[in-house]
Amino acid sequence: MKIDIPHVMDSLRQLAVKEKVSREPNVTMFHQLFLDSVKKWGRVHELELIGLYKLKSRQLFSDIQLGQQMFLKGKLKMLPEKAGKKDVKRIFLKGQSNG
């Protein structure tokens, strides 16, 4: 029997969010922000995700040096890529009808 580990992990993550199992409220918030970004752009827009997470978690200045280094190295894009937006939207709609 072959086990699809990524699928199992994602299913467990979804259940944990739904059941509010996490003792860390920021974990649930980060997960929701991540999904919102994917729904909006078709893939995650890291700069938006980090910015919203920092604002909502009120940790504005933690990791600021790391963020600056990543930005200067081109690891964080100013504008999101919109590849596959229609396909991702269809996947989210299908997921809503199944759950």
Residues spanned by the domain of 76: 25-98
Identify which of 81, 3, 6, 95 has the alpha carbon closest to the alpha carbon of residue 44.
Answer: 81
Residue 98's pLDDT band (cuts 50, 70, 90): low
- Compute the CA torsion angle 43, 63, 10, 86 (nearest 10 deg): -10
Establish if 32 belongs to a structural domain: yes
Alpha-carbon 83 to chain mean position = 16
Number of structural domains the chain divides into: 1
pLDDT digit string, tens, across residues 32-50? 898 888 888 888 888 888 8
Which amino acid is present at 30?
F
Establish if 41 belongs to a structural domain: yes
pTM: 0.62
Query: What rounded mean pLDDT belongs to the chain?
Result: 80
3-28: average pLDDT = 78
pLDDT in the model for residue 52: 92
